[in-house]
Chains A and B, each alone.
Chain A
Amino acid sequence: MTYENVKKEPLVRIAKRPELSKGKATLVRLSSILVALLIGGLLILVLGYNPIAVYADIIKGSLLTGTALKSTVKIAVPLLGAALAIAPAFKMKFWNCGAEGQITVGAIVSTYFALYHVDNLPSPVLFIVAFAAAAVVGGLWGLIPAFFKARWGTNETLFTLMLNYIAIGFVKYLRIGPWMDKGQMFPKVPMFDKAARLPEVFGVHIGWIIVLALVIFIYVYMTRTKHGYEIAVVGESVSTARYSGMNVGKVIMRTMFLSGAIAGIVGWMMVCGTNYTLSDTTANGYGFTAIVVAWLSKLNPFTMVGISAFLAILQKGSNTIQTNFGIPASASEVLTGLILLCMLGSEFFINYRFVFRKKTVGGDD
């Protein structure tokens, strides 16, 4: 600020707001979604379509028929799972951008069991073994950046990001190398045997029950246990944690193992429950979108259910509007992006307020 400006109070300044009531905060967040939908609607209008018809079609195409609803749930489940995985790490202010890779390694291990042990293990045993292996390997994959962070303070955002591409690159190696389906023109991993596919409950693979159980688990873990308390303290202030005698490195590593393990489980349900095969896009960007889901939910597991369901509706519904209106399905990404950006912006209005310069000339202070 230059010297002349110092004399005069700026026209607008920003001040911290005393805590906003829960109802009002929700109202702000909901209206930010509304703003995003309005901007999206305007875009649809400019392109020459009727926004109300398009939005109605998104709802119809994602919720109103049995098959549509099932596909929507199949999108929401891994998204919710990945968001739950990220929550403990983010609470600790450990920016785990590596859920994508942790999902992928979980998927790789599950695929190994599904392809090579389907004949010598009965299905339930196969599922449990693959589940456990996916959790452990996902956890270990998450442990690598945690170890380096705890020991030497490497930047975890960049580290976890790089690990994603290493995991995905390894899938590509398996796909065109040792695990290639010999009978196909295009190099791909074979489809799983019937015995290696997860059973369904109400038409959706059992992963949804596991994820709902995880919602409860994470909620209890974060709010009612000693571990959860330690995570919160490390997140607020590493020094405080250290002075009170916590082993910060241990907390970081333990939490990232848990985070990676849950992501690994999501990988397990992606290959055994949804795709029945492994591909470079098995994680499908869920690991990244989940970061935003977790953040916008303020790391509250129950809010995550709502937000991941909402994003799943958009994604599924956009396929329908591509068929019915000829609007490219990428519209879902545009809308999702808009909603995320608007909601991120709205957080400001919950935490801060604008203070305008008093009208009286000369001021009273």
Chain B
Amino acid sequence: MDTFLNFVVAAVLAATPLLFGTLGEILTEKSGHLNLGVEGMMFMGGVAGLAGTYYYEKAVGEPDKLVAAVIGVVCAFLCAMLGALIYSFLTITLRANQNVTGLALTTFGTGFGNFFGEIMGNAAGGYVSVGTVIKAVFDEGIPVLQDIPIIGKLLFSYNFLVYLALAIALVLSYFLTKTRKGLNLRAVGESPATADAAGIPVSTYKYLATCIGGGICGLGGLYIVMNSANGTGGVWVHNSISGYGWLAVAIVIFATWSPLKSLICSLVIGALSVLPYYYPITFIPSAIYEIFPYLATVAVLIMIIFRKKKNNLPPASLGLAYFREER
């Protein structure tokens, strides 16, 4: 029972960074923009969050937990948003190809993260590392509640970013299905020309969705850099975020562009990734086992075509630039 409980907790912790990336990308793709720069934005968010908390700690000496949390989140969000803003400007205003721009953003963001991570490390004489107080901010669960037997561990032992991700998923789901603005956004992603004719400011929606989506992706990077159970624990490690961004892009498909389903899908992928540590798997080699998420994604990609359910298909204009004067 104890092993199972630990396994569930570990699965949730492993799922969270993926969930951030997935949610950010869902919001982005709903506007019709396929941003393949998720990984780059995660790197930018991660390094900025680390920098923010690290310099805050250096400046005050005795950091306040709440302030540190806010600084981490805001820095990560804004920096990743900056990456998304470059992408938006190029693909929305300058109409550059989305695939290529996203890949260029991944190159840039990965370099940006590693470069500044190492620059900070050099300045600190080796590597950057935040103190125990700040580490605790990104690791500790909810006080008192987490001491309840079983339920406390199962529900209240996570760091605040886990609850933030959950909240974003719920809000995003509500926004996309229940509000007028959410429906407008989906209209923009399905058919920008129709949305434009209906008087929806297409570019504004596209800009906001890609930029906020990018910011959310950045929180995934923050999580990986700051959390010690499923990340590097407040230390910059070269290329530590590699792979998460692409997995997030995969989960978007797996979840068929639905924020609520992405909760389950990222949890499944997270659980699969930590399963061998709790229940050793002997019948398949671990490396083959690690391919499963990608195989499953391919299967989903094919399946959604056959099921032909409108709700499950990608936004119709995904990947296409919109230019009003062109038809």
Q: Shortest Cβ distance from B159 into chain A, in angstroms?
A: 28
Asked if B90 and A337 make an inter-chain contact with CB atoms under 8 angstroms apart, the answer reads: no
B40: chain A residues within 8 A (beta carbon): 337
A155: chain B residues within 8 A (beta carbon): 301, 314, 318
User: Per a CB cutoff under 8 Å, which of A2, A152, A331 touches B302?
Assistant: A152
Flag whether A66 is at the interface (Cβ < 8 A). Answer: no
Asked if B314 and A333 make an inter-chain contact with CB atoms under 8 angstroms apart, the answer reads: no
Q: Shortest Cβ distance from B46 into chain A, in angstroms?
A: 14
Give the distance in Å from the alpha carbon of A26 to the alpha carbon of B323 in the complex: 24
Flag whether A176 is at the interface (Cβ < 8 A). Answer: yes
Flag whether B305 is at the interface (Cβ < 8 A). Answer: yes
- Residue ID in chain A nearest B324 by CB atoms: A14
Q: Shortest Cβ distance from B266 into chain A, in angstroms?
A: 16
Most chain B CB inside 10 Å of its own CB: which residue of A172, A333, A335, A352 = A333
User: Per a CB cutoff under 8 Å, which of B99, B101, B325 touches A97?
Assistant: B99
Number of A-B contacts (CB under 8 A): 156
Q: What string of 1s and 0s marks CB contacts (under 8 Å) between A132-168 and chain B?
A: 0000000000000000100011110111011101100
Flag whether B183 is at the interface (Cβ < 8 A). Answer: no
Flag whether A302 is at the interface (Cβ < 8 A). Answer: no
Give the distance in Å from the alpha carbon of A162 to the alpha carbon of B300 in the complex: 11
Q: Identify whether the interface residues of B are mostly helix, strand, loop, or mixed.
A: helix
Most chain A CB inside 10 Å of its own CB: which residue of B94, B201, B305, B306 = B94
Flag whether B285 is at the interface (Cβ < 8 A). Answer: yes
Which residues of chain A in 320-365 are interfacial with respect to chain B, using CB atoms and an 8 Å cutoff? 326, 328, 330-338, 340-341, 344-345, 347-348, 351-352
Binds A, one of B10-18, B108-116, B171-179, B275-283: B108-116
Flag whether B249 is at the interface (Cβ < 8 A). Answer: yes
Total contacting residues, chain A, CB less than 8 A: 53
Asked if B302 and A154 make an inter-chain contact with CB atoms under 8 angstroms apart, the answer reads: yes
Flag whether A16 is at the interface (Cβ < 8 A). Answer: yes
User: Per a CB cutoff under 8 Å, which of B86, B287, B298 touches A163?
Assistant: B298
Asked if A162 and B107 make an inter-chain contact with CB atoms under 8 angstroms apart, the answer reads: no
Binds A, one of B63-71, B134-142, B150-158, B288-296: B288-296
A258: chain B residues within 8 A (beta carbon): none
Asked if A345 and B111 make an inter-chain contact with CB atoms under 8 angstroms apart, the answer reads: no
Flag whether B246 is at the interface (Cβ < 8 A). Answer: yes
Q: What string of 1s and 0s marks CB contacts (under 8 Å) between A1-36 and chain B?
A: 110000000000011100000000000000000000
Q: Shortest Cβ distance from A148 into chain B, in angstroms?
A: 6
Asked if A172 and B290 make an inter-chain contact with CB atoms under 8 angstroms apart, the answer reads: yes
B110: chain A residues within 8 A (beta carbon): 330, 333
- Residue ID in chain A nearest B111 by CB atoms: A333
Give the distance in Å from the alpha carbon of A154 to the alpha carbon of B101 in the complex: 22
A221: chain B residues within 8 A (beta carbon): none
Q: Shortest Cβ distance from A334 into chain B, in angstroms?
A: 4
B302: chain A residues within 8 A (beta carbon): 148, 152, 154
Most chain A CB inside 10 Å of its own CB: which residue of B90, B109, B318 = B90
Flag whether B268 is at the interface (Cβ < 8 A). Answer: no
Flag whether A307 is at the interface (Cβ < 8 A). Answer: no
B255: chain A residues within 8 A (beta carbon): none
Flag whether A291 is at the interface (Cβ < 8 A). Answer: yes
Asked if B94 and A348 make an inter-chain contact with CB atoms under 8 angstroms apart, the answer reads: yes
B34: chain A residues within 8 A (beta carbon): 157
- Residue ID in chain A nearest B286 by CB atoms: A176
Q: Shortest Cβ distance from A303 into chain B, in angstroms?
A: 15
Give the distance in Å from the alpha carbon of A158 to the alpha carbon of B201 in the complex: 29
Given contacts A1-B199, A292-B100, contact A341 B249 (CB under 8 A): no
Asked if A177 and B285 make an inter-chain contact with CB atoms under 8 angstroms apart, the answer reads: yes
B314: chain A residues within 8 A (beta carbon): 155
Give the distance in Å from the alpha carbon of A352 to the alpha carbon of B96 in the complex: 11
Flag whether B74 is at the interface (Cβ < 8 A). Answer: no
- Residue ID in chain B nearest A280 by CB atoms: B287
Q: Shortest Cβ distance from A336 into chain B, in angstroms?
A: 6
A348: chain B residues within 8 A (beta carbon): 93-96
Give the distance in Å from the alpha carbon of A338 to the alpha carbon of B115 in the complex: 13
Which residues of chain A in 70-102 are interfacial with respect to chain B, using CB atoms and an 8 Å cutoff? 95, 97
Give the distance in Å from the alpha carbon of A306 to the alpha carbon of B109 in the complex: 24
Asked if B246 and A337 make an inter-chain contact with CB atoms under 8 angstroms apart, the answer reads: no
- Residue ID in chain B nearest A285 by CB atoms: B107
Asked if A291 and B107 make an inter-chain contact with CB atoms under 8 angstroms apart, the answer reads: no
Asked if B99 and A291 make an inter-chain contact with CB atoms under 8 angstroms apart, the answer reads: yes
Flag whether A128 is at the interface (Cβ < 8 A). Answer: no
Q: What string of 1s and 0s marks CB contacts (under 8 Å) between B86-104 and chain A?
A: 1001100111110111011
Q: Shortest Cβ distance from A289 into chain B, in angstroms?
A: 7
Asked if B287 and A161 make an inter-chain contact with CB atoms under 8 angstroms apart, the answer reads: no
Give the distance in Å from the alpha carbon of A177 to the alpha carbon of B289 in the complex: 13
Given contacts A97-B99, A158-B249, A173-B288, contact A334 B305 (CB under 8 A): no
Flag whether A47 is at the interface (Cβ < 8 A). Answer: yes
Interface residues of A (CB under 8 A from B): 1-2, 14-16, 47, 95, 97, 148, 152-155, 157-159, 161-163, 165-166, 169-170, 172-173, 175-177, 285, 288-289, 291-292, 295, 326, 328, 330-338, 340-341, 344-345, 347-348, 351-352
Having A154-B302, A328-B122, A337-B105, one finds 5 other A-B pairs with CB under 8 Å, namely: A162-B250, A162-B295, A331-B111, A333-B110, A337-B107
27 contacts between A and B (CB under 8 A): A154-B301, A157-B319, A158-B249, A158-B301, A161-B246, A162-B297, A162-B301, A165-B246, A169-B287, A175-B287, A292-B107, A328-B115, A330-B110, A330-B118, A333-B107, A333-B111, A334-B108, A334-B115, A336-B111, A337-B104, A341-B90, A341-B101, A341-B108, A344-B100, A344-B104, A347-B96, A348-B95
